[in-house]
Amino acid sequence: MLVLGIESSCDETAAAVADDKKNLLASVVFSQSEHTAFGGVVPEIAARDHLEKVTGIVRETLEKAGIGFEDLDAVAASAGPGLIGGVIVGVMTAKAIAAVRDIPFVAVNHLEAHALTVRLGTDVPFPYLLLLTSGGHCQILIAYGVGRFKRLGATIDDAAGEAFDKVAKMVGLGYPGGPKVEACAARGDPTRFDLPRPMVGKAGCDLSFSGLKTAVRRIVDSYGENGMSDKDRDDLCASFQQAVLDSLCSRLKNGIKIFKKECPDGRFLVVAGGVAANKALRSALEKLAAKNGLTFAAPPMNLCTDNGAMVAWAGVEHRLAGLSDSLDFSPRPRWPLDPSGKR
């Protein structure tokens, strides 16, 4: 089974081809660079770029895979959540291919694509406990199967990745901020600044990062017109990152208790999403998993941020489960993994 996946939900135009043997035949990602000047993604610019690039990206992907449209068994696209202009571009492109070739179309939940990516390269069976963390989302869930997720907690304000980006902007590192904050943190002292650990010690699995972000802002402002030295910046980034890790691990401890009670045969703690590329987070979660009798797993670094491979693989998983969508499926700016969740 060969499935083409198309990703266009934010600022990456991407496509990939995966098969049902967990082989990734080709993957092409075009990352838009115009947004750096604005300190964040501008939806209108992103949508226009997707429209301009998507056809060429798909053709290049098929060429690299050594196949043609006639070889495809299905086509999948990120159909939400995301910036709706870009989502529409990817969905309409996939629908057109599906209609012309008379093959199934799969509308992939972008969050589920992240959640399932670990199964492309690793033998991770359902159920597993999942930390899904990116610039727009931060959730703790139990993944029971394809299309079957139970949310245990979510951020009540900012996502972790968003907090990384905003802190990067505060200290003058620019956008995208996550990798830049991580690099500075690697040189800094994580104990120098006394920052809050949001939600630590409270019941449940909800998360919060707005207060932590505000605390960082106050420290930055306290340096006045002279600003922070490089050492100050590195120490603040290290202190901020450690606070985020402590908060995530604390909430996951509660999640592990729930997971073990509801899924006694579950063996894996998985992290996915853009922030999953953070090496310090991976190390902390690996230790947390081992301490609680679980095995840690994460997608390869290059498959943590948005890409077509995760969409193609989600399409494979859906087709193996006998699932597809009609061509009148409407793209969704919001699409919770667990529809029963409160937020």
**DSSP letter string over 272-306?**
ESGGGG-HHHHHHHHHHHHHTT-EEE---GGGTSS
| Burial class, 140, CB count within 10 angstroms (exposed 0-12 / middle 13-18 / buried 19+) | buried
Q: Kindly indicate the confidence band of residue 226, based on its pLDDT and cuts at 50, 70 and 90.
A: confident
DSSP label at 197? -
Collect all residues with Cβ–Cβ distance below 8 Å to 71 and sequence separation of at least 6: 2
- Give the pLDDT score at 164: 96
- Give the pLDDT score at 44: 80
Q: Kindly indicate the confidence band of residue 36, based on its pLDDT and cuts at 50, 70 and 90.
A: low
Query: Whole-angstrom Cα distance, residue 229 to residue 328?
Result: 55
Query: Whole-angstrom Cα distance, residue 307 to residue 67?
Result: 20
Give yes or no for residue 342 having a pLDDT over 50: no
- Give the pLDDT score at 40: 67
- 82-106 pLDDT per residue, tens: 999 999 999 999 999 999 999 999 9
- Give the pLDDT score at 43: 75
Domains along the chain with CATH numbers: 2-116+303-320 (3.30.420.40), 125-298 (3.30.420.40)
* Tokens linked to 215: 């605390």
| CA angle at 18 for the pair 13 and 23, rounded to the nearest 5° | 130
Give yes or no for residue 341 having a pLDDT over 70: no
Give yes or no for residue 343 having a pLDDT over 50: no
What crossing angle do the helices spanning 230-262 and 210-222 adopt, rounded to 10°? 170
- 274-299 pLDDT per residue, tens: 999 999 999 999 999 999 999 999 99
Work out the average pLDDT over 208-227.
95
Give yes or no for residue 147 having a pLDDT over 60: yes
- Give the pLDDT score at 314: 98
- Give the pLDDT score at 35: 57
For the chain, what is the mean pLDDT? 94
Work out the average pLDDT over 78-82.
95
> Considering only CA atoms, which of 243, 153, 160, 251 is closest in space to residue 202?
251
